[in-house]
Amino acid sequence: MSLTKKNKKWHADIRPSGRDGKRYRKQFDTKTEAENWPRHIISIHNQKEWIDKPKETRKLSELIELWWHYHAQHLKRANAYLTRANKLCRMLNDPTSHEITTPLLADFQAIRLSKVSPSTYNRDMVSLSNVYTVLKEKELIHCDNPFAHLKIKEVAPDLSFLSIDEIKLVLSHLKGSHLLIVKICLSTGARFIEAETLKYSNVLKDKITFTDTKSGKPRTVPISFELYSELKLLAKGDNGRLFDNCYSEFLKKFKQLDIHLLKGQVTHVMRHSFASHYIINGGNLLNLQKILGHSNILITMKYAHLSPDYLKDVLDKNPLNNL
């Protein structure tokens, strides 16, 4: 499907049955009409109640194009989602929907899991499943979702966090932007990228507001006056940011330290360290959920066992204690 503007008119061009199918073209005065018309054509093309629904003959790449046009391009990390979907499409050799069979998916799962973790594979399946979910909701396709219910069970990894001595070691070996970003993460539970992309206007006298968050929702966390004073000494960049991109350099320096973490946990170790010590020191789980920006308290519950009062009543409520 294409949408172009020529001579003050919007031109829509679509082939509902794929590249080799019948072509529909029409021009409109407004962009909204031009965007809605292809949806109407596809609906009419597929909704013939007196016969069986036609077999979906369009390639997966064509469905991804529709998904991008109607939905994905408006998401926060749109380009990353599109890159993942196109990569998986190429790995599957761009099949049509009826070519996505159980044996094909079984082969893909076996090959993919030999190279990536179960969590990465599950994100792959969610990405491709979303293409069909969105298009079905918008009545642009009528076939079953071949990627639905393909997630596999993941073993929840142990969360690594730094001890007080390890935190002291990290702080003593860092300086400049790296040191301040780590201090922000350890003081607020921010992700590294959230601290790295902070703007001068996000820092107030007693708090920091993170706007470039994973959920897209801003959150505000109090900070000490000492940290505020250090941040205000930084020169304001041309783009309003406090720091330049420096994660790669930070990663190199961190790996030079004698600190052993589980694979893949360096990225969020400062965030996990904040949350872990917050609960160890008697912090409240509901408050921690707000601080970290978790949408569901179940995500925050993974830190519950660190509470000094965690299941403490088992000591006096077990049957042996009442003998």
Mind telling me the catalytic residues?
191, 214, 268, 271, 294, 303
Contact in structure between 85 and 129 (CB atoms under 8 Å): no
CA angle 58-59-63, nearest 5°?
80
Can you give the three-state secondary structure of 215-226, one letter per residue? CCCCEEEECCHH
Is 88 in a helix, a strand, or coil?
A: helix
Beta partners for residue 203, in sequence order: 208
Residues with Cβ within 8 Å of 173's Cβ and at least 6 positions away in sequence, in order, are 253, 256, 257
Contact in structure between 83 and 153 (CB atoms under 8 Å): no
Which residue type is seen at 40?
H
In angstroms, the CA 138 to CA 50 distance is 22
Contact in structure between 189 and 278 (CB atoms under 8 Å): yes
In angstroms, the CA 98 to CA 96 distance is 6
Is 16 in a helix, a strand, or coil?
A: coil
